[in-house]
A and B are shown apart, each in its own frame.
Chain A
Amino acid sequence: MNYKAIVIGTSFGGLEALKIILPGLGKEFPVPVIIVLHIGDHSNDTFINYMNSICPLKVTEAENNEEIKPGHIYFAPPNYHLLIEPDFTFSLSTEEKYNYSRPSIDILFESAAWAYSKNLIGIILSGANSDGAYGLKLIKEFGGMTLVQNPCSATSPTMPRAALKMVLPEYRLKLEDIAVKLVELTNG
């Protein structure tokens, strides 16, 4: 399968999980990674700078109209929903919170499923609410690949558990096995 994008949703415990996964992707990783991490209304700047210092890929905040490119890791800006357009650019929205969240994982995943259909990998990591479960189900319905962090290895198992209740994912992995699997899946 020729995967064109990876979307990741996570909240509480997400930063710690991403610190392990993202550096493990290596600098030749061939597909863009797009992430919703619930961090409240605070600016992303600090952890984006930090992620850049530990990742060989370029880590940035997704910008409105920006073309989505391989070799990049994008984070949704705080207090905006992040959507993927059919022409593979980002758009932002200030509409109501969804699942008490803005950015909402479901909204990103839904738009990603429409844009990439079966060429998409969706991932749910540690988190304290059920945002993303519906979106992951949709990714699977569109023929995409789904992966959920094993709740037993998650700082907060609520989000992976909620996802597992709605979707039987192709992979259910321990944190330290996720990066290796992604490299394997995207190398054709």
Chain B
Amino acid sequence: MTNGAYNETNADLLNIEMQLLMEAIFLRYGYDFRNYSKAHIRRRVLHHLSMSLIPNVTMLLDRILRDRDFFSNFLDDLSINVTEMFRDPEFYKSLKYNIIPKLKTYAYFKVWHAGCSTGEEVYSIAILLKEEGLLDRCQIYATDFNRKVLETAKEGVYQKSDIEQYDKNYVLSGGSGKLSDYYKSRYGSVIFDKNLSSKVVFADHNLVTDNVFAEVNMILCRNVLIYFEKNLQDRVIGLFYKSLVPGGILCLGTKESIKFSGYENLFEVVDEKQKIYKRKIL
């Protein structure tokens, strides 16, 4: 977990090297981790050092600058791609009771799933919309900065061993059918019905460096902001505000909030606990 090259006597050195590394990655590849939470990034970098047997961050930096494939693997290590279907079932339940009735009044609407990772929650939303008869009336944009995870999301193939947990979540979320109606088992995997992703566009978008790309009725961005420092969080909430139509819905992770972001007064709270907000109609 920690590399032997670093201890209390050179903690300052590590801070300098980390700062140089983040600048180098930004200048060379355009990925901006400079305002990610420091403790988190340090942990990932030290982990990568011990796995790749590179003695210190300066030597890691050298390799990253010169070896694009190596950087690509390093990038995977920096992003957290732990997710599950119907994660926080109470959130989906709240969506069903508080938001779906409103979506039913629209002839057509757009949803942006920002930081969708490997797509488990995209398929969860698609299932919810399908069960409510809304899937054909919507367009879902599912974005992430990591192209590798987007490929997995597009395929919709997941490990069979995870399905038991997903099924439990689905039932708790108030699903009206059976989760097994939506996938086929194949060897150790399950593959989700292509019909579910027929309304989804998977695209490369970086919340840190890219801008508004569409006006949407609902945004889901769950457990992404926790990895950002406060200023960056505020900037991204601003990006969401600009991307939502008046009256549009913003859904964050249960430990994230628009409180103290500077945008607090521009949203109404729909569900405080599940972190569902509505852009005010001014």
Contacts and interface: CB of A to CB of B under 8 A. Distances in A.
Please indicate whether A and B come from the same complex rather than being unrelated chains.
Answer: yes
A87 B226 CA distance: 16
Interface in A65-95: 65, 77, 80, 83-87, 91-95
B11 A114 contact: yes
B1 A106 contact: yes
Interface residues of B, number: 26
Interface stretch (B38-46, B144-152, B264-272): B38-46
Interface string A154-185: 00000000000000000000000000000000
Interface in B223-245: 223, 225-227, 230, 233
B131 to A, nearest CB: 25
A29 interface: no
Contact of A93 (B2, B15, B80): B80
A118 B8 contact: yes
A87 B223 CA distance: 21
A107 interface: yes
A111 B82 contact: no
Interface stretch (A11-19, A121-129, A134-142): A134-142
B167 interface: no
A91 B7 contact: no
Contact of B223 (A94, A115, A118): A94
Q: Which residue of B40, B230, B233, B260 has the most chain A CB atoms within 10 A of its CB atom?
A: B40
Contact of B82 (A87, A96, A138): A96
Contacts of B227: 91, 93
Q: Which A-B residue pairs are the 10 nearest by beta carbons?
A: A91-B37, A83-B39, A142-B8, A111-B39, A92-B226, A95-B80, A94-B223, A117-B8, A85-B39, A64-B226
